[in-house]
Amino acid sequence: MAGLVKSFNIKARDFNHAGEASISVQSLLKSMNYNPKLIRRIAICGYEGEMNAVMHGGDGFLRIEIDSDKLVLEVSDSGQGIEDIELAMQAGYSTANDDYREMGFGAGMGLPNMKKNADQIIVESEKGQGTQVRMIFFIKEGDMPA
């Protein structure tokens, strides 16, 4: 049974609002009393995914699906896509330009961090086809709302 689903828009290159979608997901999960450690893992994944859409991708959305046995976080954008997903997943790999590096981005640790913090990650992308990242967090004992 599919549970509650909430979606928040992401606007490419809009650094004034970048990060707001992941904060909204974080606030929602907090209000539902999920385990803070689980929320933190999801917040990291949401933020990294959202910033990737803002910097490298295109307009899109961050979506959370709340089921009794798992939480599914999806970040989807309609940007230029990723040509070589395996390469993009490697620690330290980044195509961020100097402007982004000056802003403190471009360490190439976003996707590796998402992989580390999610129980499962599925990246789907093709050049010119946008990018979709789905991350699954299985609910374990102690994660459930009190």
Binding positions for Mg ion, rule: CB under 5 A: 52, 110
Looking at 1-9, 13-21, 61-69, 100-108, which segment touches ligand ADP (CB under 6 A)? 100-108
By CB under 6 A, name the one of 94, 118, 135, 139 that touches ligand ADP. Answer: 94
Residues in contact with 105: Cβ distance below 8 Å, sequence separation at least 6, in sequence order = 51, 55, 96
- Among Mg ion, ligand ADP, none, residue 136 binds (CB under 5-8 Å by kind): none
Measured CA to CA, the distance from residue 59 to residue 10 in angstroms comes to 6
List residues binding ligand ADP (CB under 6 A): 48, 52-53, 56-57, 77, 79-82, 88, 93-96, 105-111, 131
